[in-house]
Amino acid sequence: MTNLPSPEDRRNHYLIPAALASLLFLGSLRIFLDTFKNSHQTCPFFRPQSGGYRVIRPPIRVSDEETIKDGCNIFEGKWVQANGSYPLYTEESCPLLVKQVTCQKNGRPDSSYQKWKWQPDGCNLPRFNALKLLEILRDKRLMFVGDSVQRSMFDSMVCLVQSVITEGKKSLRKQPPRKIFRAEEYNASIEFYWAPFLVESISDHATKHTVLKRLVRLDSISNHSKQWEGVDLLVFESYVWWMYKPVINATYGDLKHVQEYNVTTAYRIAMETWAKWIETSINSRSQKVFFMTMSPTHLWSWEWKNEGDGNCYGEREPIKRPYWGTGSNVDMMGIVKDVLGGLRVNVRLLNITQLSEYRKDGHASVYGERRGKLLTKEQRLDPKNYADCIHWCLPGVPDTWNEILYGVLLQDYRGS
């Protein structure tokens, strides 16, 4: 006798429970810091010179050590204990971090989740170098587009670079649906753009989105895309908002004609709308586009333990054997593959799903927020209903996504 749910239950489990759906709406109601107060390092590329500043621009060199071997699949590998060299920043050293992700400050007793390093099987990832990344971003805009998972990648990237920027030369401002981090000395921006479905929807307001009601306009993207025009580096992601029910209300064409679509059908149409924009608007010579695959959830512990009815709560170690949770829908993954495969414009895939699947220990669990508030003591004692097994603690797993993005971007400077 096992506690394994029947196939019927599994199908239901595939859907995100309503209580958890509320987690998707967090996080934007924040006070934004205008400048950072805790940075110590000064930028070595600026030297005072007779009252002004002379800019010395080092070329971006890729050492042998930083070179990713041709043909190496950096998304295949394992997590290894990093023994001291991780995390790459701390909750304290990054004042921008929002309460939703500062799990230590919120009472998480263990911190080992911060100390794992992703080790690809066939090669090494270059060590993250904030100065090099900023040099890559000089006079450019990097924009992350998507939902709150994607926002944590933005938060992570800002934390990864902000400590090397001179005080007073960096700023973070909110311009809904965007968040914009500026590094003045580099004339560089790191931005987040809220578009949980990529195409237009009634959930597009950065703070006041509908909680359980969803209505997607499968053929409309221009309200968003006009703000993506000309952005030098774009990183797209969209998944978890689609996954609330097997069907979703949507329109195609006539806004009065609302219809329930199978989620997979709707996702394919929306991805095709996005792809059409990519093909007509991206200039491959001056712009780089990435698509990030789904961030996995760890909502049902029976999937990795074969017993019990828990979730990610209390998990302290990555999964160390082959694992793929049912939350990462393979049909949806197939749609991403098809759509990207059919593009004439080069969109690079950041296939972070498998590596993140192993990280059942990395989620905010009960050390996060719900509807903009930290959990109460009573709620913390009820992880079954309150643990957030969708979002990640920072420092944590999204840092690895950025290390990979950095590693890939860096390769473009090989031999230059």
Give the residue numbers marked as catalytic: 148, 388, 391
Backbone angles phi, psi at 258, to 5 degrees: -85, 135
Q: How far is the CB of 83 from ligand NAG (least distance, A)?
A: 4
Q: How big is the chain by its Cα radius of gyration, in Å? A: 21
Give the range of 3-11, 257-265, 305-313, 389-397 binding ligand NAG by CB under 6 A.
Answer: 257-265
Q: Are 361 and 296 in contact (CB under 8 A)?
A: no
Q: For residues 296 and 383, which CB has a smaller minimum distance to ligand NAG in the complex?
A: 296
Q: Are 165 and 257 in contact (CB under 8 A)?
A: no
Q: Which of 299, 304, 306, 305 is nearest to 384 (CA)?
A: 299
Q: Which of 207, 243, 204 is nearest to 222 (CA)?
A: 204
400 binds ligand NAG (CB under 6 A): no
Task: Give per-residue burial for 278-289: e unless 16+ CB within 10 Å, then b.
Answer: beeebeeeebbb
First to last CA, the chain: 62
* From candidates 83, 280, 286, 416, binder to ligand NAG by CB under 6 A: 83
* From candidates 182, 217, 268, 363, binder to ligand NAG by CB under 6 A: 217
349 binds ligand NAG (CB under 6 A): yes
175 binds ligand NAG (CB under 6 A): no
Q: For residues 187 and 284, which CB has a smaller minimum distance to ligand NAG in the complex?
A: 187
* From candidates 22, 67, 90, 249, binder to ligand NAG by CB under 6 A: 249
* From candidates 13, 245, 276, 380, binder to ligand NAG by CB under 6 A: 245
Q: Of 353-372, which residues contact ligand NAG (CB under 6 A)?
A: 353-354
CA distance 318 to 304: 11
Q: Give the bridge partners for 260, in sequence order.
A: 249
By CB atoms closer than 10 A (0-12, 13-18, 19+), residue 161 is: buried
What number of chain residues touch ligand NAG (CB under 6 A)? 27
Q: How far is the CB of 245 from ligand NAG (least distance, A)?
A: 5
**Tokens 């221009």 — which residue?**
222
Q: Are 339 and 275 in contact (CB under 8 A)?
A: yes
User: Per-residue DSSP letters for 220-257?
Assistant: --HHHHTTTTT-SEEEE---GGGGGSSEEEEESS-TT-
Q: Of 135-174, which residues contact ligand NAG (CB under 6 A)?
A: 139-141
Q: How far is the CB of 96 from ligand NAG (least distance, A)?
A: 21
**Tokens 């009573």 — which residue?**
378
Q: Are 166 and 43 in contact (CB under 8 A)?
A: yes
* From candidates 91, 185, 200, 399, binder to ligand NAG by CB under 6 A: 200
* From candidates 295, 351, 356, 365, binder to ligand NAG by CB under 6 A: 351
* From candidates 3, 49, 210, 262, binder to ligand NAG by CB under 6 A: 262
223 binds ligand NAG (CB under 6 A): yes
* From candidates 80, 175, 346, 376, binder to ligand NAG by CB under 6 A: 80
Q: Of 275-314, which residues contact ligand NAG (CB under 6 A)?
A: 293
273 binds ligand NAG (CB under 6 A): no
CA distance 393 to 376: 18
Give the range of 133-141, 164-172, 306-314, 383-391 binding ligand NAG by CB under 6 A.
Answer: 133-141
Q: How far is the CB of 311 from ligand NAG (least distance, A)?
A: 23
Q: For residues 326 and 379, which CB has a smaller minimum distance to ligand NAG in the complex?
A: 326
3-state secondary structure of 79: strand
Q: Give the bridge partners for 239, in sequence order.
A: none
Q: How far is the CB of 284 from ligand NAG (least distance, A)?
A: 18
**Tokens 């990097």 — which residue?**
142
- Contacts with ligand NAG, residue ranges (CB under 6 A): 80-83, 139-141, 187, 200, 204, 217, 223, 245, 247-249, 260, 262, 265, 293, 333, 336-337, 349, 351, 353-354
